[in-house]
Chain A
Amino acid sequence: MTRRYWNINLEEMMEAGVHFGHGTRKWNPKMAPYISAKRKGIHITNLTRTARFLSEACDLVFDAASRGKQFLIVGTKNKEADSVAWAAIRAGCHYVNKKWLGGMLTNWSTTETRLHKFRDLRTEQKIGGLNRLPKRDAAMLKRQLSHLQTYLGGIKYMTRLPDIVIIVDQHEEYTALQECITLGIPTICLIDTNCDPDLADISIPANDDAISSIRLILNKLVFAICEGRSGYNRNP
């Protein structure tokens, strides 16, 4: 696999605050190799390693996208929800914005049933079938539709299980990570100082609290996906 240039600047990462970790008391000792210092009760991650892992992750993602694999980005914290959605739309990947429903991947057959219902409701809405029902039924169906839109809106184009899953905060999305592990799906995860680096396949030690750091890393990954996809479209 060729290593490409991904415009990863250590100065840029420091500006975005990627090197800040969580408080000292909350750390996971398995993260010791990736922590370089401790300042004012906060762990500081080693940015050279972060840059290294980030470029490896970008290479992997570029390679997978050029083979036409499907991605899924998971990020459910309130602050990041919007950026996750925009990033995924820009890259053309599926995403999970709001709560990750338990069993979304391991219980894929049930999720498919919900997606079918979502699709039927959408078609009904488009052809105006909701206006012919009495008001109460129409209101119920509209509510169901909005629920399905918030939870499943990002995966409505997903026909089968994704090939790579990108998780934004390991602590928060622990269920999603466990599901991918049971199914054997490779994962790329943003690790903070209180997370376990051995769970994901590629873990990028970074700050998961600041939006700027998440945006920076998502930018790089999305860029890699776009590049890979454009290569794929020419040679399928």
Chain B
Amino acid sequence: MATSLTSSLSSTFSALSLRRFSLLPTPHHPTSLSLPKPLNFPSIKTQSTDIDTIYFENDDPDEITTFNPPEKPEGFEPPPSFDEGPQETEEQIALAYEELYGPAYSGESLLGNNVNVMDSKVKKTNTFGKVKKEKIRDGFEERVVQVRRVTKVVKGGKQMHFRAVVVVGDKKGQVGVGVGKAKEVVSAVQKSATNARRNIVTVPMTKYLTFPHRCDGDYGAAKVMLRPASPGTGVIAGGSVRIVLEMAGVENALGKQLGSNNALNNARATVVAVQQMRQFSEVARDRGIPMEELWK
């Protein structure tokens, strides 16, 4: 029914995250209030004398062949089109908009609101030369994995930039890896932190703060093997793999970099490996069998 699609859409509005919905033509059940002349094109086929028209075969059995709108309420008059009707003056338009949204960026205020209401969004430039380092926001901690100086050779000489790889995580199962390049180390670290905050994954963890099962992940030429460990082991892994696991909050794990040693690619490979892991309860639910079967 149409209500299922539109109700799912309205429920997503109440949630803060906006997912993408798939467009499925919902099967339509004809009610008794159908139109007197449903427009079924295949039935017109026999009466048409237009030899240039070629009709497509509608193969879908659930197709929508009739359009049954709800009943017309009494006394309904179609509203005027937007270009007929009285043209509003600019003042009226500005007034209507300001009622809805406040003065925003229009530069004038007819209702007496403060015109500079959007100024609080602008970051005040510090009177001192140095920009203050921002505090840790959103509860995510950043750790720099690697900072490298990279060069681009141009006609005039070599142009140096810094490339920072940063892992961002709260110690509760969310991690993200980000890269950023800039001419200075500090701004490169900031860029990579914003990048990392955009690609965050959740790590499935058991109650002993370890993985549910072993997993391999690869990204590029870097291959990483992750294995759960009993409590008290700690994180036994090298380089960027250790940093990613620590920022995720995993306490006991074993990891090995099997392919290349590239820090960025190994960090990405651990993220790939972690994304492939499933909790036992999830798998049991998807397969429809009780969890005891999984341990046989």
- Chain A interface (Cβ < 8 Å from any Cβ of B): 1, 3-8, 10, 32-33, 35-40, 46-49, 51-52, 55-56, 59-60, 63-64, 67, 69-70, 83, 86-87, 89-92, 112, 115-116, 118-123, 125-126, 156-159, 163, 181, 184-186, 197-198, 200-203, 215, 218-219, 222-223, 226, 229
Which bucket holds chain B's interface residue count? 35 or more
How far apart sit A197 and B104, CA to CA, in the bound complex (Å)? 35
Residues of A close to B9: CB separation below 8 A: 1, 60, 186, 201
**A200 partner residues in chain B, CB cutoff 8 A:** 23
* Chain B, Cβ-Cβ closest to A7: B78
B91 within 8 A of A: no
| A201 neighbours in B (Cβ, 8 Å) | 9, 20-21, 23
B101 within 8 A of A: yes
Q: Kindly report which residue of chain A lies nearest to residue B100, judged by CB atoms.
A: A92
Asked whether A123 and B115 contact (CB < 8 A) given A36-B55, A37-B53, A48-B66, the answer is: yes
Whether, in the assembled complex, B81 has its beta carbon less than 8 Å from a beta carbon of chain A, the answer is yes
Contact of A7 with B41 in the complex, beta carbons under 8 Å: no
10 closest A-B pairs by beta carbon, nearest first, are: A122-B107, A90-B82, A115-B105, A184-B18, A1-B6, A157-B101, A119-B105, A39-B53, A157-B104, A48-B67
- Interface membership of chain B positions 202-238, coded 1 if the CB is closer than 8 angstroms to chain A and 0 otherwise: 0000000000000000000000000000000000000
Q: How far is the CB of B16 from chain A (nearest CB, A)?
A: 11
Report the tally of A-B residue pairs with Cβ distances under 8 A: 173
* Bound CA–CA A157/B67 (angstroms): 38
Secondary structure at the A interface, as helix, strand, loop or mixed, is helix
A228, B12: Cα distance in complex, Å: 18
Question: CB-CB < 8 A to A92: which residues of B?
Answer: 96-97, 100
Does B76 contact A219, Cβ atoms closer than 8 Å?
no
Complex: chain B residue closest to A216, CB-CB: B81
The reply to whether B69 and A6 contact each other, CB–CB distance below 8 Å, is yes
**Is A159 within 8 A of B17, CB to CB?**
no
A-B contact pairs, 27 of them (CB 8 A): A8-B67, A33-B25, A36-B41, A36-B58, A37-B53, A39-B52, A48-B39, A48-B64, A48-B66, A49-B64, A51-B69, A52-B2, A56-B5, A70-B101, A89-B88, A90-B82, A112-B118, A121-B107, A123-B108, A126-B107, A156-B106, A158-B105, A184-B18, A184-B20, A197-B23, A200-B23, A218-B82
Given contacts A1-B7, A37-B56, A184-B18, is CB(A219)–CB(B81) below 8 Å?
yes
- Across-interface contacts of A32 in B (CB, < 8 A): 56
B157 at the interface (CB under 8 A from A): no
Considering the complex, give the chain A residue whose CB is closest to the CB of B53. Answer: A39
> Chain B at the A interface: mostly helix, strand, loop or mixed?
loop
Q: B10 interface residue, CB < 8 Å from A?
A: yes
- Residues from chain A with a CB closer than 8 A to the CB of B66 are 48
| A184 to B17 alpha-carbon distance, docked (Å) | 8
Chain A residues within an 8 Å CB radius of B54: 37-39
Contact with A along B104-148 (1 / 0, CB 8 A): 111110000001001001100000000000000000000000000
Contact status of A181 and B20, CB under 8 A, knowing A7-B76, A51-B67, A87-B82: yes
Indicate if B43 sits at the interface (CB-CB under 8 A). Answer: no
Q: How far is it, in angstroms, between the C-alpha of A184 and the C-alpha of B104 when the chains are bound? A: 24
> Do A67 and B13 have beta carbons less than 8 Å apart?
yes
B:15-29 near A, CB below 8 Å: 17-23, 25, 28
Judge whether B156 is part of the interface by a CB distance below 8 angstroms.
no
Q: How far, in angstroms, from A229 to B108 measured CA to CA in the complex? A: 24
Query: Contacts of B60 on A, CB cut-off 8 Å?
Result: 33
Cβ-defined contact, A123 with B104, below 8 A? no
B106–A157 contact, CB under 8 A? yes
CB contacts (< 8 Å) of B58 on chain A: these are 36
Q: When the two chains form their complex, are residues A86 and B82 in contact, meaning their CB atoms are under 8 A apart?
A: yes
| B73 contacts chain A at the CB level, 8 A cutoff | yes
Residues of the A chain whose Cβ atoms lie less than 8 Å from the Cβ of B6: 1, 56, 59-60, 63
B64: chain A residues at CB < 8 Å are: 48-49, 52
A38/B105 in contact, CB under 8 A: no
- Whether B105 and A203, one on each chain, are in contact in the complex, defined by CB atoms closer than 8 angstroms, is no
A10 to B64, CA, bound (A): 14
Query: Which residues of the other chain, B, contact A126 by a CB distance below 8 angstroms?
Result: 107-108
Q: Please determine whether B71 and A5 come into contact, CB atoms closer than 8 angstroms.
A: yes
* A185 engages B18 (CB within 8 Å): yes
Q: Which B81-102 residues sit within 8 Å CB-CB of chain A?
A: 81-83, 88, 93, 96-98, 100-102
A114 to chain B, nearest CB (A): 9
Chain B residues lying within 8 Å of A156, measured Cβ to Cβ, are 104-107
Answer whether A46 and B20 are a contact pair too, CB < 8 Å, given A38-B56, A56-B5, A63-B10.
no
